[in-house]
């Protein structure tokens, strides 16, 4: 007997992992969060063949109003987006504290998910996204787009094939100027639903003048520059070298130097991800090369990127690809990239194929790289002021760590910071059980490893 189209669709919908797309097989996409990154996603996804932008969301009605002409449905509450039947996939570009909650809710609602970096606001909730993607047969892509850069993919293959010998260490260099965010008497913005904005985070007054973007530098909503920018290069470093899982030990140190403002996260931070046999050192700087300037330092020509040292040479680069050099700094090979311009298209292709293996940045990889940032921040937050000698000892005395710490000391001095008067905060060394994704040597650290949530914005454990 010949099946009707309705009977066929009903049967298809009952199959695990199989979705029925919209009219003309379009993938119907909604974007949640319309800041700089979200606006970019609106423009980018809106131009992809076979994609229809059907809904937009931002808690700020002014931001929403500026984009409303680009989709038929708009809402300030993301729950109104997730309940719609005409949305196949959501792109999440909200502040960090909303990422995991929305990603899990979206999976529960049967939506595929593209979630911006860092994919979570703590380690535990990142694992819940991974579980939700598996349980609800959803395609979930992390917004770590450099895994889609063709030049960097070629470089990764070249390095993993052993052309440079063994990987010795990785150095993430992220020097990005960020001035003071200022300070203001406690207040709450009156042009939006502030309770909804805070969501799972504490409902606390703002002490900064600007609501948007500066949430990155407050622990309840952001993860500092380690989680904001450093994650890109950490993820790329792991990808280039083929490093899997979590490091067994993490230590972070630094401080918020040069000004006093409402920010809580460090503007100078050094994080040691003690992978063996090839550790990764992550260096974040937000102060300029010297006081009074906006120009930033560089290391081996890199201001924002990765240096991966191997036995017979090294890779340096990130945006737009990178190059292989010998140990005398002679360029041997160049890999030209595009910055991951096809990352959104890769997500849509996987949505169509229903194969998570087709993703360049599957959620589990985004979760691991994000967790490295969380462990670094936890170590830092549990630290205390200490002399530079103590910092050197805590880092274990490797030549790379000693040299990097020495450069940081000179960098801070050039910005008028005297570490004898304003010491580095030297973090608690964390022992990590990589299989359980758990800190084993500090109860206080364990409490930071899992967030607290306000009703009704509660993330429940995914079975």
pLDDT digit string (tens) for 286-329?
Answer: 999 999 999 999 999 999 999 999 999 999 999 999 999 999 99
Cα angle, residue 90 at apex, residues 103 and 121 outer, rounded to 5°: 30
What's the pLDDT score for residue 5? 35
What's the pLDDT score for residue 15? 42
What's the pLDDT score for residue 6? 35
What's the pLDDT score for residue 446? 85
What's the pLDDT score for residue 443? 87
CA distance 159 to 429: 30
Q: Are 381 and 219 in contact (CB under 8 A)?
A: yes
Give which of 67, 71, 90, 70 is closest to 79, Cα–Cα.
90
What's the pLDDT score for residue 238? 98
What's the pLDDT score for residue 447? 82
What's the pLDDT score for residue 448? 84
> Distance of alpha carbon 68 from its chain centroid, rounded?
27
The SS3 call for residue 336 is strand
Q: Helix crossing, 99-108 with 123-135: angle to 10°? A: 20
Residues 6+ apart with CB under 8 A from 417: 257, 258
For residue 113, what are the β-bridge partners?
90, 140
CA distance 234 to 118: 11
What's the pLDDT score for residue 13? 40
Structure tokens at 278: 């090839």
Give me the helices (H) in 181-222, please. Answer: 194-198
Q: How many angstroms separate the Cα of 160 from the Cα of each of 153, 225, 248, 333, 459?
A: 11, 29, 22, 15, 38
Residues in the chain with pLDDT values less than 70: 1-24
Radius of gyration of the chain from its Cα atoms, rounded to whole angstroms: 22
Residue that the structure tokens 């919209």 belong to:
22
- Preceding omega of 355 cis (within 30 degrees of 0): no
Residue-range domains of the chain with CATH: 5-146 (3.40.50.720), 150-339+363-448 (3.30.360.10)
Residue that the structure tokens 């460090």 belong to:
266
Span 74-133, pLDDT tens digits: 999 999 999 999 999 999 999 999 999 999 999 999 999 999 999 999 999 999 999 999
CA distance 236 to 152: 8
Q: What is the pTM of this model?
A: 0.94
Give the 3-state secondary structure of 406-433.
HHHHHHHHHCCCCCCCCCEEECCCEEEE
The SS3 call for residue 174 is strand
CA distance 113 to 107: 7
Residue that the structure tokens 């985070």 belong to:
201
CA distance 116 to 379: 24
């Amino acid at each position: 007997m010949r099946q009707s189209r309705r009977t066929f669709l009903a049967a298809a919908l009952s199959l695990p992992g199989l979705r029925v797309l919209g009219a003309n097989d379009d993938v119907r996409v909604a974007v949640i969060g319309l800041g700089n990154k979200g606006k970019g996603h609106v423009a980018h996804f809106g131009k992809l063949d076979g994609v229809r932008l059907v809904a937009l969301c931002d808690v700020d009605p002014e931001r929403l109003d500026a984009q409303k002409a680009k989709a038929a449905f708009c809402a300030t509450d993301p729950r109104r987006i997730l309940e719609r039947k005409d949305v196949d996939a959501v792109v999440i570009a909200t502040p960090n504290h909303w990422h995991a909650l929305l990603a899990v809710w979206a999976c529960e609602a049967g939506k595929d998910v593209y979630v911006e970096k860092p994919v979570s606001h703590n380690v535990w909730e990142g694992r819940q996204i991974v579980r939700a993607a598996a349980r609800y047969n959803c395609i979930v892509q992390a917004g770590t787009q450099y895994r889609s850069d063709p030049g960097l993919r070629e470089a990764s293959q070249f390095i993993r094939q052993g052309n440079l010998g063994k990987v010795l260490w990785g150095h993430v260099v992220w020097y990005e100027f960020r001035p003071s965010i200022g300070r203001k008497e406690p207040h709450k913005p009156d042009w939006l639903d502030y309770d909804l904005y805070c969501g799972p985070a504490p409902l606390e007054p703002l002490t900064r003048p600007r609501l948007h973007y500066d949430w990155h530098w407050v622990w309840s909503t952001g993860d500092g520059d380690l989680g904001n920018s450093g994650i890109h290069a950490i993820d790329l470093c792991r990808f280039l070298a083929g490093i899997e899982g979590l490091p067994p030990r993490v230590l972070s140190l630094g401080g918020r130097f040069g000004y006093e403002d409402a920010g809580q996260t460090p503007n100078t931070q050094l994080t040691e991800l003690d992978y063996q046999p090839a550790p990764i050192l992550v260096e974040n700087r937000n102060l300029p090369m010297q006081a009074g300037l906006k120009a930033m330092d560089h290391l081996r020509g890199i201001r924002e990127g990765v240096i991966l040292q191997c036995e017979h040479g090294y890779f340096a680069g990130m945006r737009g690809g990178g190059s292989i050099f010998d140990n005398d700094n002679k360029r041997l090979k160049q890999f030209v990239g595009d910055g991951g311009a096809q990352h959104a298209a890769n997500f849509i292709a996987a949505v169509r194929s229903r194969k998570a293996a087709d993703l360049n940045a599957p959620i589990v990889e985004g979760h691991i790289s994000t967790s490295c940032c969380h462990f670094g921040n936890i170590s830092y937050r549990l630290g205390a002021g200490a002399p530079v000698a103590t910092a050197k000892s805590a880092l274990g005395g490797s030549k790379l760590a000693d040299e990097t710490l020495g450069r940081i000391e000179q960098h801070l001095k050039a910005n008028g910071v005297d570490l004898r008067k304003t010491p580095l905060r030297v973090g608690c060394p964390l022992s990590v059980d990589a299989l359980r994704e758990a800190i084993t040597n500090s109860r206080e650290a364990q409490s930071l490893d899992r967030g607290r949530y306000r009703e009704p914005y509660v993330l429940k454990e995914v079975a």
